[in-house]
Amino acid sequence: MSLFAHILIPLGFIILALLIKKASIKRRLAILFAAINFLWSLTLIPIVQFNDIIVVQTGGWEAPYGISLVADKFSVIMLVIAAFIFFISTVYGAQEVDKERRKSGHFFFSFGVLAGVNGSFIAGDIFNLYVWFEVMLMSSFILVSLGGERPQMEGSIKYLILNLISALFFVSGVGLLYGNLGTLNMAHISQIIANNKEIIPLLNPALILMFVSFAIKGALVPFFFWLPASYHTPPPTVSAMFAGLLTKVGIYSLIRFYTLYLYHDDLFWNKIILWLGTASMIVGAMAASSQIFFRKILSFHIISQIGYIVIALAFFTKASLAAAIFFLVHNMLSKTNAFLVGGIIRRQTGTLNIKALGDIYRQNPIWAILFFISAFSLAGLPPLSGFAAKYLVIKAGVEADMILISMIALFTGILTLFSMVKIWMEVFWKKVPEDIAVPLPVKKRKEHWMLTASIAMAVMIIIMGVNAQSLLNFCNSAAHTLLNPDIYINAVLNQ
């Protein structure tokens, strides 16, 4: 029952928002519902610690005939962090998003994204997963284009076309898999493959279609082009929320698929995933260091960070899976906060071109500190969360005898540091350039909610870095469940 709430809470808000006309009430209601969703997700933690896996069979149909909703520890971590990020971005967006957009349904569609994200984390059925992807995508299409400014139009067309292609790949993969196996239940598919290993070469065409779809959603090299073309166009709240939630759903599904199906054919899949991850790491960081727009640097940088998670998945030991989950959590928090700080700066100065900005540190030390915390957490400086995350990934790599890849990961850290230092120097440190024709006015507008949201996020990053051990313990037990798919299969099929 508790899992249904993660779908019903966002849907409840969507229905209420249709009835309410006043923008100010809608805003309060949105914050309230986001808080309820966060608190509700926290109640799942003690349940999974006690039971390992929560399974709900919808409509009372036994698996594999009905649709199962499944949450293991990995899903619960993702649900909690996604709910936290969504809560923060709602509080932030209540002030940042302009009234016009709030009236035309900003919160309405962002709760649609939340419904899709929550649904994908608990889906136990591949077609169901596809439907949640579509729910998430449809809402995010509208959020990207809401407002209808010219750059937004351009960004949203690219985002739309490439993501639709990924959805088509996914659904044709689902169709082929169903044709081969006659079932859609994720646990049941895994069981059939485990009992009958020679069937895998037959399934690989379908699995490759699905893998490409996840790679497009997760923005791996060479499928990432939609991401840097669109993430910097919508309002900062929207791009912060997308940076925290959307690509991570693709990576979540990839980890789920790898640990349930793809690991059976390690010889074929491991190399693909390992080298795509490595390429993403390098290409993302290099592309980021050549950009001169605040959000564009951060967008390219998402690709590089995804690479770390994917190589940790490809090492495929217990320690590396735990590191992948830890890194995912760290990345969601730090990346969202970096985008949030960018939003405050854009609101006050009217631009995010780092060549035109400058001297923010003297004007507003609080922003500078907030950016410092999130950016240097991304770069991996202790005692912030990024240090623990990178350390765990590289340590797991060395232990799995992947010295070369671990060295590349270390070297990429320097590139990351370089691009973060670049933003820091240009935006916060240097003097405002004098040769710019129009001196940028520093407008004073209210920002207390935005600051509160960003500070809460920064505090989480510090806590996560200082107190890494307790989260890591949870990640370790999540990795244990992932490495033993029998636990998942037996829980879902009730054997």
Partner 1 sequence: MELIIAIFIGLLFACGVYLILRRSIVKVILGIFVLSNATNLIIFLAGGIKSEAVAFIPDDAESLNPELINDPMAQVLILKAIVIGLGIAAYILALKYRYFEVTGTHDLDQLKNTDQK
Residues forming contacts to partner 1 in the complex (CB under 8 A) are 127, 131, 134, 138, 141-142, 145, 148-151, 153-158, 160-161, 164-165, 168, 171-172, 174-176, 178-180, 182, 184, 229-230, 232-233, 293, 296, 353
Q: How far is the CB of 229 from partner 1 (least distance, A)?
A: 6
109 vs 376, beta carbon nearer partner 1: 109
Report d(CA 177, CA 159) in Å as an integer.
27
Instruction: State phi, psi for 169 to the nearest 5 degrees.
Output: -60, -45
34 vs 297, beta carbon nearer partner 1: 297
Please tell me the number of Cα atoms within 13 Å of 171 on its side-chain side.
Answer: 11
How many degrees, rounded to 5, is the angle at CA 112 between CA 7 and CA 167?
100
Report d(CA 428, CA 360) in Å as an integer.
4
Instruction: State phi, psi for 54 to the nearest 5 degrees.
Output: -105, 130
Q: How far is the CB of 125 from partner 1 (least distance, A)?
A: 11
Q: How far is the CB of 67 from partner 1 (least distance, A)?
A: 12
Q: How far is the CB of 210 from partner 1 (least distance, A)?
A: 13
Q: Judge residue 21's burial from the number of C-beta atoms within 10 Å of its C-beta, 0-12 exposed, 13-18 middle, 19 or more buried.
A: exposed
Q: Report which of 433, 382, 412 is spatially closest to residue 289, judged by C-alpha positions.
A: 412
62 vs 399, beta carbon nearer partner 1: 62
205 vs 382, beta carbon nearer partner 1: 205
45 vs 160, beta carbon nearer partner 1: 160
Q: How far is the CB of 228 from partner 1 (least distance, A)?
A: 8
35 vs 138, beta carbon nearer partner 1: 138
Report d(CA 413, CA 415) in Å as an integer.
5
Q: How far is the CB of 116 from partner 1 (least distance, A)?
A: 12
**E strands in 227-321:** none
Map tokens 């309410």 to a residue.
Answer: 20
38 vs 170, beta carbon nearer partner 1: 170
Q: How far is the CB of 468 from partner 1 (least distance, A)?
A: 38
| Residue type at position 104 | S
